[in-house]
Chain A
Amino acid sequence: MTNTWQDIRNADVVLVMGGNAAEAHPCGFKWVIEAKLENNAKLVVVDPRFTRTASVADFHAPIRPGTDIAFLNGVIRYLLEKDAIQHDYVRAYTSASLIVKDGFGFEDGLFTGYKEDTRSYDKSSWNYDLDEQGFARIDDTWQDPRCVINLLRKHVDRYTPETVSRICGTPQDKYLKVCEMIAATAAPDKALTSLFALGWTQHSVGAQNIRAMAMVQLLLGNIGVAGGGMNALRGHSNIQGLTDVGLLSNQMPGYMTLPSDKEPTFEEYMKTRQFKPLRPGQTSYWQNYRKFFVSFQKAVYGDAARADNDWAYDWLPKLDAPMYDIIRAFDMMANGKINGYICQGFNPLQAFPDKGKIRRGLSKLKFLVTMDPLDTETSRFWENFGPQNPSDPASIATEVFQLPTTCFAEENGSLVNSARWLQWHWKAADGPGEAKSDLWIMSGIFHRMREMYRKDGGAFADPILNLTWNYTDPVEPNPEELAKEMNGKALTEVKDATGAVTLKAGQLLDGFAQLRDDGTTASGCWIFSGCYTEKGNQMARRDASDPREQGIAPNWAWSWPANRRILYNRASADVAGKAWNPQKPIIEWNGSRWAGIDVPDYGPTVKPSEGVGPFIMNAEGVGRLFARDQMAEGPFPEHYEPFESPSPNILHPKVSSNPAARVFADDRAAFGEASEFPYVATTYRLTEHFHYWTKHALINAILQPEEFIEIGEVLAKEKGIEQGGWVRLASKRGVVVCKAYVTKRIKPMLVDGKPTHVIGVPIHWGFTGLARKGYGANTLTPSVGDANTQTPEFKAFLVSIERTTAPVA
């Protein structure tokens, strides 16, 4: 979230699209209700189904799964056509006036530079027209046809209301009503908050879905303001923390990136990470990358990371592929290229696409270690549980080590919530039976591996042998010590330019501004710096006082970065430093500094007259309406059909789906056609359950006991399916036999003149736990991901459906 849960109450319009906040986030949803009650907000829901969120909404518009970009590009077109944009904001705070260089273009569904053989782009034309000093040229008058705003206008021109309706199946009147409600927040004192989740990310165009909405928000002047923002409601407790500390195959902590094998030296690596400003005088905060990186290496390797060995750069893994995401990993597993798997806090047999392929992959492993508080399906993949898991143990050689772990309430630690708050929690009970903490298990594996490297040597022992492990209890490091390590400390006495001592050796840092690139500071995760200082554990603070009653309680827990609650908050004020919305100021210029209820996302004493943009992490200093080379499939969002789609791409039939998405051969062969699988399916959660965990809890199992799918009345009648009757739902990849819920909440949509039916597939059932046995939605889903993140396309695929009888156990 750019903003916070509490801040939702400041919104004038709450747009829930690409998520179902009431269903998946019932506790946080209280702030939407508050917005309605206290701020007279309108709640707008755009969703294929009439959801629990829709049940309390002011307006619901249906949309075909996988067509959000068409809808949002249409919204952009509407805003530009009606001139419903916040002009002063767009001029000063976005890249609207920057000029794009000649050579960039878009034709027949492809941007310039497409390479068909590698399904990727040469992005060299996706850039600004740069002057001799490397700064982007601009035209503040927006006359130049190569201005970003004019190129954008041209790009979205095809998305007329008629076209949007043909693609999305949203009736034109409902679509225009949503446009109108969104456009009302272009007023400087009005804000729209965008609440989204996996309904946007789980598409082959997931990242571009979100970019499209971010562009809408920039045009409306809704980023950085109270009640505005792009608010990703995270799907797991601490999944925000997972990305923050870089637990992705191509990441390092604090959103630094792992080197590729084309960057053999540290200097080579740093070349593309200098982030030179693209406009004069801009902050471009990533210029400090070297400080964050060196401090990280010092935290990991201590004295062994030195200037003369490039801070142990050589010990970092170098990627030979863009990333080793789960789809790639299981493709390798299924093809015998990965043969051991330590699976920590994950249940891939339920959570990853194409269950059959996942089972085949696990079956080829030599060993599988699972670490989980629950008896997961993954741990038991080799057992025959009947049709829901038809394994043949005799043919599987995988040795499985099932290690029970403690859960969050059985240990101290911190969780990062959607609003980027690090909240400390305290152990409430001992774990049951032989459960051990993840720290104990991981430490044990490390110590044994290090001992083996010490004794027997190995191909590349240095990264293991030189790892620092200076914990009071090396067998089970305590979470407080780990938190301090993330926060960072001075390794030697640190002096400023005048020679005065600013930090004593060993002193915990106050924040990342103190990090140095000379090896005198260490920090395991620069964005967490400030969470555990000499003043104590800031994450453990529990002061709920909210000075302006505006949803900002600065002394409750600790928020990254720098305890800042609303990102880009400089943009809440106009160029001169006065709040756009005087009723809800966040920070304002008081003549000598920026002051208000939040930590400024800006130099605290940088004068408004200096012209420094509010988006300090961007080299341009402004919000990007043109993504340059940052996205895999283009600088502007474009509508591509899902890989399994009931209709051709009417904009460019030859380039129907995302041209830059990676597709493995086996997975492509497992895509189905609309002729055989004519209905659109989409997967989702129910409020009664959390993924595949709560079916192990009795009360949740009682509240939603058994697998089912949701089908509209029209299709049910056509197929002779009765309320609560058994159905056989099939995709090219698998079959689910379960009960049907015949509902009014899903209605057929008219897509390009053709009635299109959507079938809803809740995800929660498996073959362990207390709820009744089920097949699981991922039996059906395709193995293809977003071109940038590889998040699987769970939200739009094709199925067939027939009535049937109960499965024989």
Chain B
Amino acid sequence: MADLQSQDYVRRSASTMTPPSARSHEIEVAKLIDVSRCIGCKACQAACMEWNNLRAEIGHFEGTYDNPLDLDPHTWTLMRFTEWDNDEGNLEWLIRKDGCMHCADPGCLKACPAPGAIVQYANGIVDFISEACIGCGYCVKGCPFNIPRISQVDHKSYKCTLCSDRVAVGLEPACVKACPTGAIMFGSKTDMTAWAGERVAELNSRGFAKAGLYDPPGVGGTHVMYVLHHADRPSLYAGLPDDPHISALVSVWKGLFKPLAVAGVALAAVTGFLHWIVAGPNEVQPLDEAEAKHLIHADEPQ
């Protein structure tokens, strides 16, 4: 979303040229969400709605505190609540702020077939550039965290920008600023990793032996990280993937299938050209016209 010049890009979807990476001297940023300090107050959700000026529908109560019920083009971050009876038989109420993880190796960007629709900046933020988005939904398939949502209005894909517009001018993301308990911190990835180490040590001292940092290597690490009391079981937290990887389909598409497909497209073009040479141009027949008219009117309300 941010209006940053393309010199910021370190990666660009569906592009063969290497971005200029003119700002690669920039440090990588990270948001650290300390689940053990979070009280689920949704101030981050409200701040996200305010800064991005988004308002989802007023929904219904659906048997959960998760409101709205899911991420959507108007809801880029969402508190997800899980009630869990732990192994000692005591209840834990696990509350996780869900949203884009800003992977170092973003599956959405890899899957995206639209040149420049998904980019990654030197600071690590992965951003969607709406003008270039074709709404194909491949980013949804490519995301191991099930984050992007396609608007049914303009058929573009939307998700958290990590407030790239704020970060670009030296501010922290809106959710970070709003969090009353300091459960969401923001800084360089190095600093956040170090701070997470302190938090994990403190949690260990309170009996959470398996506390740890969630920075999954399967996606090259992330620029949104969690401190979890139960880092050995991330999926307890409303299905946070235990070991996220980019879908094998995306790898096949990018690695093997894409050159084949390109070759196929090229072959079709060559065949077409030969056909034109040999048989002349295709003419539109009256039957075709009738069929087309029928198709156009089929969409109209009855």
A→B interface (CB under 8 Å): 22-23, 26-27, 29-30, 33, 37, 50, 52-56, 58, 60, 687-688, 698-708, 723-725, 738-745, 747, 770-772
Contact = CB atoms under 8 A, between A and B. Distances in A.
Nearest to B85: A744
B43 to A, nearest CB: 7
Contacts of B58: 698, 701-702, 705, 770-772
Contacts of A687: 39-42
B63 A50 contact: no
B182 A30 contact: yes
A742 to B, nearest CB: 7
B249 to A, nearest CB: 34
Nearest to B95: A55
B55 A698 contact: yes
Interface in B7-42: 36-42
B170 interface: no
A50 B45 contact: no
Contact of B67 (A52, A53, A705, A707): A705
Interface in B46-63: 46, 49-50, 55-63
Given A55-B92, A688-B42, A703-B46, A33 B61 contact: no
A743 B83 contact: yes
B40 A52 contact: yes
Interface in B183-207: 183, 202, 206
A22 B46 CA distance: 17
Given A26-B43, A705-B67, A742-B63, 13 more contacts: A33-B37, A52-B39, A55-B40, A55-B92, A687-B41, A687-B42, A698-B55, A701-B58, A702-B56, A702-B58, A703-B67, A704-B67, A706-B61
Interface of B: 36-43, 45-46, 49-50, 55-65, 67-68, 83, 85, 91-95, 180-183, 202, 206
Contacts of B93: 50, 52, 54-55, 745
Contacts of B57: 702
B74 to A, nearest CB: 9
A202 to B, nearest CB: 22
Contact of A702 (B43, B59, B183): B59
The 10 closest A-B pairs by CB, nearest first: A724-B63, A706-B61, A55-B93, A22-B39, A723-B63, A26-B41, A744-B83, A27-B180, A708-B61, A687-B41
A307 to B, nearest CB: 53
B67 A26 contact: no
Contact of B39 (A50, A55, A742): A55
A745 B39 contact: no
A703 B41 CA distance: 10
A23 B93 CA distance: 14
A719 to B, nearest CB: 15
A26 B63 contact: no
16 contacts: A27-B180, A29-B39, A33-B183, A55-B93, A699-B46, A702-B56, A702-B67, A703-B67, A705-B61, A706-B60, A723-B63, A724-B61, A739-B61, A741-B64, A770-B58, A772-B60
Given A26-B180, A705-B67, A56 B37 contact: yes
- In this complex, the member of A54, A687, A770 whose beta carbon has the largest number of chain B beta carbons within 10 angstroms is A687
B181 A702 contact: no
Contacts of B38: 56
A675 to B, nearest CB: 31
A26 B37 CA distance: 12
A254 B41 CA distance: 35
A698 B54 CA distance: 11
